[in-house]
Amino acid sequence: MLYPVPHILYSIDDFSLAMDFDLTNNSVVTYTPLAGYTLPNLFRMLAQNHFHISPRYAARFTYSMALSTIMSPFYIRERVKYDKATENTPITKDPIFIIGHWRCGTTLMHNILTRDQQFGYFTTYQTLIPSIFISGEKFFKPIVVSSLPKKRPMDDGDLSADLPQEDIYALGALSPYSYYHGWCFPKNMEHYNNYIDFTSASPQTIQDWKTIYLHLLKKITMYHKGKQLILKNQDNTGKIPQLLEMFPDAKFIYMYRNPYNLYMSMMKFMHKVIPLYCVQTPPPLKEVEEKMMTLFSHMTQKYLKDKPLIPKENLIEVKYEQFLNQPLDVVSTLYKKFNLSGYPDVEPTLKTYLATQKTVHIDKYSFTDPIKKKIENHWGFALSEYQYSQPQEDLP
């Protein structure tokens, strides 16, 4: 068992759902990902949001604008120095994509797999300032290190500049195609949620996304000297057709969780993190909750529709509760499934890493009847698809 420590009990009241977000750290200016955006992209975000910044977040936005401005000469230098080499870098082994909704164990899976040195990946530092992570490392990495909390605010997991990170932050720093734009500019959240998939997108939008994403993946491949990439990006759950067009032999690890517990974990996540990212006063948490529930339904149904496109030998579905209980069994199974070499050699390293995670707490939730009913009404299809009948502890 991965987490033998006592649970922490949460009820829906702990998230002040009927009230507002957790504003305890409302004055913190450094946690927002906007600080790593390129200046052109930051102005694009401003234009999309009609240049509306809430006064209470003026200092946060000023910090982001100042850092983006300081980064600009380094950005030009990095493009001049590395763009040609990046474009000439082949991706000889199609990536392994970790997908699924937020709060389904994707981070733990990413952290485990990237302990195997045969794989390449994005670090937190590289995703937060992807435009200059090579040439700007000496000057800017200490800034990133000093700006990060030591623990993730939503679950007390480790957070550092060198740990693996989801590449949606990197994509968001360079383009409009990021779910987290909606957390920085929450009044426009629904617009950015539409980028989870491209059902109604123009061919030009899809091509633009492909071009930017491929450039990023080539750049990190060059950095890792051609290693196969392990990529965690929940946004990619809705983009399977596009990913297969780019990488026909890509492998997919789809992670899923009891929707009752997922709901509670996601509410805690948004309650704590959106106030750290945003530069606009968020709408009531109740409205954000509704958007989250709609988004889960949309992206999960899109995945269920698209997963037959993935060759069976290239897809493994991982149940969150089973993964927490027997992580190495799950990981060894996917090594076999994907014909990945070297598991016996790397297993001691994985065991050592997992031993460091035994002090991480897993939340335990209590549910009111109205909350259970809401989950059943909105996410009943997922309860049925993955055979969950009631709330349960994440560890058997």
CATH (domain of 232): 3.40.50.300
**By residue range, what is the domain housing residue 137?**
8-385
Q: Exposed, middle or buried: residue 36 (CB in 10 Å: 0-12, 13-18, 19+)?
A: buried
The pLDDT, as a whole number, for residue 365 is: 81
Mean pLDDT (whole number) for 2-20 = 46
pLDDT band for position 180 (cuts 50, 70, 90): very high
Are 66 and 36 in contact by the 8 Å Cβ rule? The answer is no
Q: Is residue 2 part of a domain?
A: no
Q: Is residue 71 part of a domain?
A: yes
Are 184 and 34 in contact by the 8 Å Cβ rule? The answer is yes
* pTM, 2 dp: 0.93
Q: Is residue 64 part of a domain?
A: yes
What is the residue-averaged pLDDT of the chain? 91
Beta pairing partners, 232: 98
pLDDT band for position 159 (cuts 50, 70, 90): confident
For 21-78, what is each residue's pLDDT tens digit?
888 888 899 999 999 999 999 999 999 999 999 999 999 999 999 999 999 999 999 9
For 182-206, what is each residue's pLDDT tens digit?
999 999 999 999 999 988 889 999 9
Q: Is residue 390 part of a domain?
A: no
Q: Is residue 3 part of a domain?
A: no
Are 136 and 74 in contact by the 8 Å Cβ rule? The answer is yes
Q: Is residue 97 part of a domain?
A: yes
Q: What percent of the chain has pLDDT over 70?
A: 92
User: Rounded to an integer, what distance in angstroms lies between the CA atom of residue 77 and that of residue 379?
Assistant: 48
* Sign for the pseudo-dihedral over CA of 70, 72, 75, 77: negative
Please give the structure tokens belonging to residue 227: 């290693």
The pLDDT, as a whole number, for residue 16 is: 43
The domain total for the chain is 1
Q: Is residue 1 part of a domain?
A: no
pLDDT band for position 379 (cuts 50, 70, 90): very high
Q: Is residue 364 part of a domain?
A: yes
| Residues present in the chain in total | 396
Residue 348 has pLDDT above 50, yes or no: yes
The pLDDT, as a whole number, for residue 154 is: 63
Put residue 269 in one of left, alpha, beta given phi > 0 → left and psi -120 to 50 → alpha. alpha
Q: How many CA atoms lie within 13 A of 377 on its CB side?
A: 7
